[in-house]
Amino acid sequence: MTDVTGFSARGDVRPPLVEAGEKETLRAFLGYLREAVIAKAAGVTDEVGLTPGVPSGTSLLGLIKHLTLVEQNWFEWAYAGRGEGEPAEDSEPPAPGETARTLIAAYQEAIRKTDEIVADCDDLARPGVRSLRETAPPSLRWVLVHMIEETARHAGHADILREQTDGATGR
């Protein structure tokens, strides 16, 4: 079953077979993981996607909102130096009125902006403008690896949350 996002909730897709440079390999794996998360939300109703699946309050669409904010914070705010003030709180739950469609669209827009930032960088070792931690701004290489780790961890959470809703497994 494929929904408006263009992703299927069923079927499994293997990691990318990339024989390229470091930047292309990192981008391919991050893209693969992002698609896995979006695929987990494919076909769920807003009610199901927003309903916490564990006592901590985590929901499938809440994970997507979190990953959107983390992408924006690390790539746009910290690395590229866009925006003023403090970065957005990345643990805020979906707000009233946010839907699967709006949350996935926001994630896809954050991904588009991130991909532009990465494409424009010719040196993965170059540090960003600011840091989200009390350290010197990390390199784009570090941010990409961190985002792969963050997205992979939450893709696993999304697998479990989706399976709890309707038994769907696989990517």
- For residue 17, being part of any structural domain is answered with no
Domain count, the chain: 1
48-98 pLDDT per residue, tens: 999 999 999 999 999 999 999 999 999 999 999 999 998 989 988 999 999
- For residue 26, being part of any structural domain is answered with yes
Task: Supply the pLDDT for residue 14.
Answer: 78
- For residue 156, being part of any structural domain is answered with yes
Task: Supply the pLDDT for residue 166.
Answer: 85
- For residue 171, being part of any structural domain is answered with no
Residue 12: band (very low, low, confident or very high) from pLDDT cuts 50, 70, 90: low
Beta bridge partners of 139: 127
- For residue 15, being part of any structural domain is answered with no
Asked if residues 66 and 154 have their Cβ atoms less than 8 Å apart, the reply is yes
Q: What is the CATH number of the domain that holds 86?
A: 1.20.120.450
Q: Which residue has the higher pLDDT, 10 or 114?
A: 114
Supply the range of the domain harboring residue 26: 22-166
Indicate if the pLDDT at residue 143 is higher than 80: yes
- For residue 3, being part of any structural domain is answered with no
Mean pLDDT, range 24-46, rounded to an integer: 95
- For residue 5, being part of any structural domain is answered with no
Q: Determine the angle formed by the axes of helices 22-41 and 140-166, rounding to 10 degrees.
A: 20
Asked if residues 112 and 104 have their Cβ atoms less than 8 Å apart, the reply is no
